[in-house]
Amino acid sequence: MCAQVVADSPALFLEHSRMLLATEYLPKIERCIQSLHDEDIWWRPNEASNSIGNLILHLCGNVSQWIIEGVGGRPFERRRQQEFDERHPVPGQELLRRIRTVVGEAVDVIGAVPVDGLTAPRRIQGYDVTVLDAIYHVVEHFSMHTGQIIWIAKARTGADLSLWNPPTP
């Protein structure tokens, strides 16, 4: 049985990466956005910090650059600094549309990666990485910023957003 798990590990990695982005992290971000007014989405405690809006723009840019372009080969021109500089509130519903679209495309790209393609070299954002490195980077990066978004949403609402309830059978 252990040999079978090892043989299936690349496929498990790809499927688990897709699941984390689409069914673990994205729904938490959606719930946070839906619990807030647009002013709260663009609130920041100080100029050295990011708003939820900036974090979502940043996630869209990062996932697009690393997965959609870097792994999938689809053209993308990123303006990274603009993700953080944005101060004109993009409405929450538009941010949700953007992040859903990007995550959907990324899940499709990851789903198309052949298991023997994980060690393929890529040059992304000036880094020499493998496809596995790129996917792992995006999943952990998405996780980190999801946590920041959750913290801001809880701070702004003063409420438990019920993000950690186990699924009902």
* Ordered structural domains, the chain, with CATH: 27-157 (1.20.120.450)
The answer to whether residues 36 and 156 touch, using CB atoms and an 8 Å cutoff, is yes
pLDDT at 1: 44
Task: Give mean pLDDT, residues 141-165.
Answer: 94
What pLDDT score was predicted for residue 108?
98
The alpha helices in 52-130, defined as continuous H runs, are 52-63, 80-85, 92-111
> What's residue 5's pLDDT?
46
The proportion of the chain whose per-residue pLDDT surpasses 70, expressed as a percent, equals 93
pLDDT above 70 for 2: no
Q: Is the CB of residue 143 less than 8 Å from the CB of residue 84?
A: no
Q: How many CB atoms lie within 10 A of CB 93?
A: 11
Mean pLDDT of the chain: 93
Residue pair 46/167 in contact (Cβ under 8 Å)? The answer is no
Q: What is the mean pLDDT of residues 105-121?
A: 97
DSSP assignment letter at 115 = G
Other Cβ atoms less than 10 A from the Cβ of 121: the count is: 9
pLDDT tens-place string over residues 54-94 = 999 999 999 999 999 999 999 989 998 899 898 888 999 99
Is this structure's pTM higher than 0.75? yes
Structure tokens at 152: 């801001």
Q: What is the pLDDT of residues 152-163, one digit of tens each?
A: 999 999 999 988
Per-residue tokens: 61: 């840019």
Share in percent of the chain as helix, strand, coil (round to 5): 65, 5, 30
- Of the candidates 19, 114, 27, 8, the one whose C-alpha atom is nearest the C-alpha of residue 71 is 114
